[in-house]
């Protein structure tokens, strides 16, 4: 079973367990992210929402945005960990809020993914990115009904 990295702090811990010079790549169901990918930003966002049932919610979350690359080499575990640590030092809450990864192959059609613990593939590590899905919060939270049956208020 794949273990997700729930926070940027989890990602730093996972990277710190790898050799600092080990190349780290990312992969979606559509394939491996290109070499020379770029971490464009690590965002901390406060979300206010209202769901289809009229319930208001607030939470904070982080998003690591990756720019697809076209080169040969992947970033090393040490370099990636250093970037994340610098971001966390500036915005400490990044370490503890839920983390997603934003990415699109060819940098078109940005998607949102959950990162999985890196797997050592013998000389390099790969972080799988699992696609997120839309959901109806009232149905998920209360099990009240199927979306089509009208649990919305």
* 48-57 exposure pattern, b = at least 16 Cβ within 10 A, e = fewer: eeebeeeeee
Structure token digits, residue 117: 């613990």
CA dihedral 33, 35, 36, 41 (to 10 degrees): 20
Q: Please state the pTM of the whole predicted model.
A: 0.88
Q: What is the pLDDT along the chain (153 residues), one digit of tens a residue?
A: 568 889 999 999 999 999 999 999 999 999 999 989 999 999 999 999 999 889 999 999 999 999 999 888 999 999 999 999 999 999 999 999 999 999 999 999 999 999 999 998 889 999 999 998 888 888 887 776 665 555 665
Handedness of CA 84, 95, 35, 40 (dihedral sign): negative
């Amino acid at each position: 079973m794949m273990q997700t990295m729930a926070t940027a702090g989890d990602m730093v811990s996972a990277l710190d367990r790898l050799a600092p010079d080990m190349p780290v790549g990312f992969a979606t169901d559509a394939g491996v992210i290109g070499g020379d990918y770029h971490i464009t930003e690590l965002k901390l966002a406060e979300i206010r929402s209202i769901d289809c049932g009229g319930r208001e919610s607030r939470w904070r979350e982080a998003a690591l945005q990756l720019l697809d690359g076209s080169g040969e080499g992947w970033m090393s575990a040490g370099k990636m960990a250093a970037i994340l640590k610098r971001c966390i030092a500036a915005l400490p809450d990044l370490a503890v809020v839920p983390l997603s990864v934003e990415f699109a192959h060819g940098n078109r059609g940005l998607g949102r993914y959950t990162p999985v613990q890196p797997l050592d593939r013998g000389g390099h590590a790969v972080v799988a990115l699992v696609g997120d899905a839309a959901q109806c919060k009232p149905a998920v939270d209360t099990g009240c009904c199927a979306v089509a049956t009208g649990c919305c208020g």
